[in-house]
Amino acid sequence: MGKYAFGVDIGGTTVKLGLFDNIGQLLDKWEIPTVTDNGGAAILPDIAKSILGKMKEKDIEKADVAGVGVGAPGAVAEDGMMVGGAVNIGWAAFNLKTALFNLLQMPIMATNDANAAAYGEMWRGGGAGTPNLVAVTLGTGVGGGIIVNGDLLVGAVGGGGEIGHIHVEACEEESCNCGNKGCLEQYGSATGLVRIARRRLAADNRPSILRQGELSAKAVFDAVKEGDALAIEIAEKFGDYLGKGLAIVACVANPEVFVLGGGVSKAGEILISYVEPYFQKYVLPACRNVKFSLAVLGNDAGIYGAAGLILNARR
């Protein structure tokens, strides 16, 4: 096995890259911009150039590199195929693994970005040492990565773990980004929390700190910490939806740990105190014994997980 591995996390505005040693220690990390023009045609060549440049800088030979793991913002099948492309960065359907291999001639592992983050958290983060784990990223959307017996649940075309699109509300009028109505992501994300807050504030004239300043997930949880009654109601509703969605996930994947990450998780332990009681209300009793923890790797979870997929690959 090589002495090094690279982990790459492709985001909408930047690509994060990390150089790891073969026991998974991060030696160096850096970022390059994600150029989405022309259907994102420059993204992979830019990544390849950046990796080859780093190898030159550190005097690393190709034979010393175990491979490159890459996480992308779209569904990625086991063989690297992205049947739906990656809309945010301009990609149409293609095989990510093959395309990056053609540029680098090194072993490649490709997966969805939320799956990479989940793998990172299992391997080096908030779920360290737990082979049955679900990582939930609460950001603009709700991302999920499901790990069963140490392996990512990828599914037929890479749609495994897309827990943000579990149907949790029959009466929703607005559409989710996926085209359906009533998805978990419409309530359980940072954006969803703001939607719940906006609707609650419009319902009557009760006083609240949230009536001043800009509404955000942070503003809601800050107001909860101040004891604001309306903010607490909003957080309860948010927790109800998220608890319900995760109870469904628990009946399918039966994890030992839920690791909560993404922007909303910056609220801290208070987030768990609003989600866990509803999870316990809805979950199958046999699947009840689940620990909730907060993600610890932050923005580095994706590069850790992508490199981990290479270093832990069964050959």
Give residues in contact with Zn ion (CB under 5 A).
165, 176, 178, 180, 183
Q: Is 307 exposed, middle or buried (0-12, 13-18, 19+ CB in 10 A)?
A: buried
Among the listed residues 291, 230, 227, the one whose alpha carbon sits nearest the alpha carbon of residue 259:
291
- The tokens for 287 are 């699947």
Give the C-alpha separation, 130 to 149, whole Å.
Answer: 9
Nearest Cα neighbor of 141 from 71, 84, 215, 88 is 88
Q: Could you give phi then psi for residue 168, rounded to 5 degrees?
A: -125, -5
Q: Which is closer to Zn ion, CB of 142 or CB of 152? A: 142
Minimum distance, C-beta of residue 99 to Zn ion, in the bound complex (Å)? 28
Minimum gap (Å) between residue 242 Cβ and Zn ion = 15
Hunting for tokens 């075309």 — which residue is that? 157
Query: Shortest Cβ distance from residue 108 to Zn ion (Å)?
Result: 29
Q: Select 166 or 235, whichever has its Cβ closest to Zn ion.
A: 166
- DSSP code of 28? E
In the complex, minimum distance from the CB of residue 241 to Zn ion, in angstroms, rounded to a whole number: 13
Rounded least distance, CB 182 to Zn ion, Å: 8
Residue 278 beta carbon to Zn ion: minimum distance, rounded to whole angstroms: 20
Q: Which is nearer to Zn ion, 27 or 87 (CB)?
A: 87
Taking the least distance from each CB to Zn ion, the nearer of 71 and 188 is 188
Handedness of CA 185, 18, 306, 292 (dihedral sign): negative
Judged by beta carbon, residue 102 or residue 180, the one nearer Zn ion is: 180
Name the DSSP class of 161: T
Nearer to Zn ion, 176 or 230 (CB): 176
Encoded tokens for 275: 């989600």
